[in-house]
């Protein structure tokens, strides 16, 4: 497929399946133990064979790597550990040749403290970039300006001895927050956006999109009632969950900036963005605001299915209905796993005997919900969360809260390509994180060609999804949500598809609609149908067209 063919559909993102690559852990091409852009080029055929529409590449920009690329020190270059701008151009060229769009992960709410902008900003209170970050005087007693907390623990304020002021950091102290109230900062960030669009990217995943602006008055956040605390935005051991985050993020000024960001995208053909909404208190409401009106984000990536809570038919229906209520004009992008949370086959799989059947059912459910889909590397192999020793940890988040929260390294271990090769085929040198022995038996080489494998199920189901536009772009109506069985209808144009899932490890039955149905093939599941009753095996599913 040519680049021009890719660019023809401005609506490509609606219902797209986006494959997330964590570049450090995908493929090491040069033997330094760290994945890189040339490694991605070499493995793009795997993604094409899977059937994904796009890739989202986590940050590869120049960075001191305190937060593994989410602390950017140069927005317009590639960190040498990942390669060069020429290597990135090769990713674009090969992806487009294979019919895959390329989205990159822009981190605009904060930079590294080693970014030249911050080095200049902290040098004095009068320099040209003095107001490019969020600076504030201490209280009279020397304590921070307010009670805002960092997601990574402790105060969201760090003292700078040169300016004799505090600067704000929602994450690590080495990740100072940019001051987007300053028009010059907005212009600089829109320039970053334009740089990568001119380089040929097809869109963006926008990290922590609701953190761009803070309350100018620096008002204290109120306490959050204990019954409203949950562990979605931060782990339960983090007091970040004890506040209602009214003032440190989610500010109304963000909507105007998102319109400006969208206007730049609209100067180019067929560009789309998905914003990550990091908020467990108002996530769906914010997603609705940010995707409304056709002049902001195309999609938002909410946390509802990244939570530790067990997935049930009632939960699925509630989340989708709540999104529709909060965002009647909006579009969601759903994920069950990513680089920040425990892999979902482990998160939801405790005590489940048949991991493969469970993984296939979850994949099929994810790919038939209304919205676009993100698949995280290794998910297609049903990789489990890696259990790492403390001495193997690299994530500062896990090191801070060990052992009550073990951080994010367990979902970031290297991709396994060949179970018989050194380091699972990831690379010749010792990888930056260890390859778990239990992952080797689930390598691509072990599953490829085995029609009973999770990998081949993903491939087959993605093909099945593409054959029925209602899955990608249709409306959804829930029919059954009680007990272990979930049933809904997806409709688009003249196509109406009935979907039935047994979300339990025991056989269950579902009921067909009153109207005639024609069973669909090619989805990888079997069920017994008698009259209007469908007998589903454990973790089974059934699909039919309403005729």
* Percentages (nearest 5) of helix, strand, coil residues in the chain: 30, 20, 50
Q: What angle do CA 348, 351, 354 make, to 5 degrees?
A: 85
Helices (H), 169-294: 183-199, 253-265, 283-291
Give the DSSP letter of residue 25. G
Q: Helix/strand/coil (H, E, C) string of 216-242?
A: CCCCCCCECCHHHCCCCCCCCCCHHHH
Among 198, 267, 514, 531, the one annotated catalytic: 267
Instruction: Report the sign of the C-alpha dihedral through residues 286, 291, 296, 301, in that order.
Output: positive
Among 28, 105, 193, 207, the one annotated catalytic: 207
Whole-angstrom distance, CA of residue 361 vs CA of residue 485: 12
Q: List CB contacts of 368: < 8 A, sequence separation 6 or more.
A: 465, 471, 490, 499, 543
Q: What angle do CA 493, 294, 177 make, to 5 degrees?
A: 135
**Quick one: tokens of 501?**
């899932």
Instruction: Report the sign of the C-alpha dihedral through residues 187, 188, 193, 195, in that order.
Output: positive
Task: Report which secondary-structure segment, H or E, holds 307.
Answer: none
- The residue among 92, 102, 90 whose CA lies nearest residue 16 is 102
Instruction: Report the sign of the C-alpha dihedral through residues 280, 284, 287, 288, in that order.
Output: negative
What's the count of helices (H) and strands (E) in the chain, helices before strands? 15, 21
8 Å CB contact between 358 and 344: no
Half-sphere exposure of 52 (CA within 13 A, CB side): 27
Whole-angstrom distance, CA of residue 52 vs CA of residue 406: 31
**Quick one: tokens of 108?**
């605009």
- The residue among 439, 434, 442, 344 whose CA lies nearest residue 389 is 434
Task: Report which secondary-structure segment, H or E, holds 464.
Answer: helix 454-466
Whole-angstrom distance, CA of residue 493 vs CA of residue 501: 24
Whole-angstrom distance, CA of residue 31 vs CA of residue 22: 17
For residue 438, indicate whether it is catalytic.
no
For residue 207, indicate whether it is catalytic.
yes
Helices (H), 300-394: 313-326, 344-347, 355-366
Q: Which residues pair with 533 in a beta bridge?
A: 511, 530
8 Å CB contact between 3 and 382: no
Which strand ranges, in their side-by-side order, compose the sheet holding 135-136? 135-136, 165-168, 157-160
Residues identified as active-site: 207, 267
């Amino acid at each position: 497929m040519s680049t021009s063919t890719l660019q023809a559909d401005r609506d490509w993102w609606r219902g797209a399946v986006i494959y997330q690559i964590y570049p450090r852990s995908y493929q090491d091409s040069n033997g330094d133990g760290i994945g890189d852009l040339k490694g991605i080029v070499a493995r793009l055929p795997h993604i094409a064979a899977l059937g994904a529409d796009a890739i989202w590449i986590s940050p590869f920009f120049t960075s001191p790597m305190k937060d593994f690329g989410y602390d950017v020190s140069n927005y317009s270059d590639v960190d040498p550990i990942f390669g060069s701008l020429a290597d990135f151009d090769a990713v674009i060229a090969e992806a487009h040749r294979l019919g895959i769009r390329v989205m990159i992960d822009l981190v605009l709410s904060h930079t590294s403290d080693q970014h030249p902008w911050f080095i200049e900003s902290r040098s004095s209170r009068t320099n040209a970039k003095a107001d490019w970050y969020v600076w504030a005087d201490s209280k009279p007693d020397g304590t921070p300006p307010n009670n805002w907390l960092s997601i990574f623990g402790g105060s969201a304020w760090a003292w700078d001895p040169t300016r004799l002021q505090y600067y704000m950091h929602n994450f690590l102290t080495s990740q100072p927050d940019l001051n987007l109230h300053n028009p010059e900062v907005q212009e600089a960030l829109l320039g970053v956006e334009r740089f990568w669009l001119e380089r040929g990217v097809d869109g963006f995943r926008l990290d922590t999109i609701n953190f761009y602006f803070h309350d100018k008055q620096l008002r204290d956040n109120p306490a959050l009632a204990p019954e409203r605390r949950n562990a979605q935005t931060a782990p339960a051991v983090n007091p970040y969950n004890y506040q209602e985050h009214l003032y440190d993020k989610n500010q109304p000024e963000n909507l105007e900036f998102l319109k400006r960001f969208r206007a730049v995208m609209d100067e180019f053909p067929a560009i789309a963005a998905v914003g990550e909404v990091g908020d467990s208190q108002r996530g769906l409401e914010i997603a609705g605001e940010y995707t409304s009106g056709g002049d902001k984000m195309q999609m938002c990536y909410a946390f509802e299915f990244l939570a530790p809570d067990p997935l049930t038919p009632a939960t699925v229906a509630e989340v989708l209905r709540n999104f529709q209520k909060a965002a009647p004009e909006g579009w969601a992008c759903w994920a069950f796993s990513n680089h920040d949370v425990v892999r979902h086959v482990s998160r939801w799989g405790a005590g489940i005997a048949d991991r493969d059947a469970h993984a296939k059912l979850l994949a099929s459910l994810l790919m038939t919900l209304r919205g676009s889909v993100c698949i995280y590397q290794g998910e297609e192999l049903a990789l489990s969360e890696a259990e790492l020793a403390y001495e193997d940890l690299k994530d500062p988040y896990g090191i801070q809260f060990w052992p009550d929260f073990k951080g994010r390294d367990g979902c970031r271990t290297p991709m396994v390509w060949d179970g018989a090769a050194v380091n699972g085929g990831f690379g010749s040198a010792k990888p930056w994180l260890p390859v778990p022995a239990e992952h080797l038996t689930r390598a691509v080489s072990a599953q490829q060609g085995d029609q009973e494998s999770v990998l081949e199920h993903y491939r087959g189901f993605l093909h099945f999804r593409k054959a029925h536009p209602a899955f990608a772009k249709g409306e959804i109506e829930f029919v059954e949500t009680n007990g272990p069985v979930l049933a809904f209808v997806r409709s688009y144009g003249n196509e109406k598809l009935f979907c039935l899932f047994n979300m339990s490890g025991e056989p269950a039955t579902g009921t067909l609609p009153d109207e005639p149905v024609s069973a669909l093939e090619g989805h990888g599941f079997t069920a017994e149908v008698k009259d209007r009753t469908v007998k589903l095996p454990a973790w089974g599913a059934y699909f039919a067209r309403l005729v």
